[in-house]
Amino acid sequence: MGLGLAVGCAVASCAVAGILVGSRMKNHRKWAKVLELLSEFDEGCSTSTARLRQVVDAMAVEMHAGLASDGGASSRCSTFVDCLPDGNEKGTYYVLDLGGTNFRVLRVQLGGTRSTVIRHQVERQPIPQHLMTSTSELLFDFIAMTLKQFVDREEDDVEQELVRSRELGFTFSFPVKQTSFTSGALIKWTKGFAIEDAVGKDVSQCLEEAMTKKGLDMRVAALVNDAVGTLALGHYHDEDTVAAVIFGTGTNACYVERTDAIIKCQGLLTNSGGMVVNMEWGNFWSSHLPRTSYDVELDDESRTHSDQARF
């Protein structure tokens, strides 16, 4: 019996040892696979100094071309924004931020001293999926209704009694051909939106018409995208801020350029001698940076989810 027990224990020990060895070998193979994938990813994403210099040169060429004429360049959009906040702003301001499947309405009270925000209110509202592919009228009616409800809930204080017509900053983060400081025509939709009748329309006018229908006494005082809005906030806190970059669902940038360097805007006078230029550089980076199989797979997956959201 003792011999049988010893043999049984030995067999069990060997079985356990075999399992442990097999598990370790399996884990080792998994780890080796992980290291192989990391090495492949590192190699695919590596960018030599020479390649970076080529990208810099290509960016400079694109920027000069975009300042010279419309079309065919990344740096292509003048914003008509020639004056950024300087920190002395005082009063109550409203903002509508539309840049994806959600939009935000904001009310901010500034105290007139740099970096002083007395109070602010923010409300985030998801956009129903069916409105993302419906009509421009239905979309902006929904936005105007939400904005009116937000304004109606504001505190009935003395300051608000004196405000008869409210001014609105409209952050619209889709490609737009800016025609003035307060207006711009939609070039195309992105981020899952596909409202055909809105393309080519002045988005500020669409919003103002919807606000009028809802009985909201408000006008668009400025039309910008999220990059320009970020630059304005940075300049409000620090007057030396001259550029802003967005890294989100997409990427974009803007910067302050001398007006006389914007050849396509010759004759346009500005008070500051400068103007904010919207880069719209997303296409530039996608065509100049290294792309790996993982980038392709991620893009395909993103399109699939976007199509599912639309339909």
* DSSP secondary structure letters along 59-112: HHHHHHHHHHSSSSSSS-EE--------S--EEEEEEEEESSSEEEEEEEEEES
Q: Report the alpha-carbon distance of residue 243 to residue 235 in Å, rounded.
A: 9
| Residue 236: C-alpha distances to residues 87, 93, 117 (Å) | 5, 14, 11
Say whether 299 is catalytic: no
Work out whether strand 166-172 and strand 117-126 pair parallel, antiparallel, or are unpaired: unpaired
Q: Report the alpha-carbon distance of residue 147 to residue 154 in Å, rounded.
A: 11
Residue of 82, 141, 202, 226 with catalytic role = 226
Place of tokens 């993982």: 294
Tell me how many degrees the CA angle 184-186-191 measures, rounded to the nearest 5. Answer: 130
| Residue 38: C-alpha distances to residues 45, 112, 301 (Å) | 10, 52, 21
Say whether 30 is catalytic: no
Task: Decide: 135 and 195 in contact? Cβ < 8 Å.
Answer: yes
Both structure tokens of 284:
């530039």
Kindly report the number of other CB atoms within 10 A of residue 106's CB atom. Answer: 17
Q: Report the alpha-carbon distance of residue 303 to residue 311 in Å, rounded.
A: 12
Residue of 191, 201, 214, 295 with catalytic role = 191
Catalytic residues: 191, 226
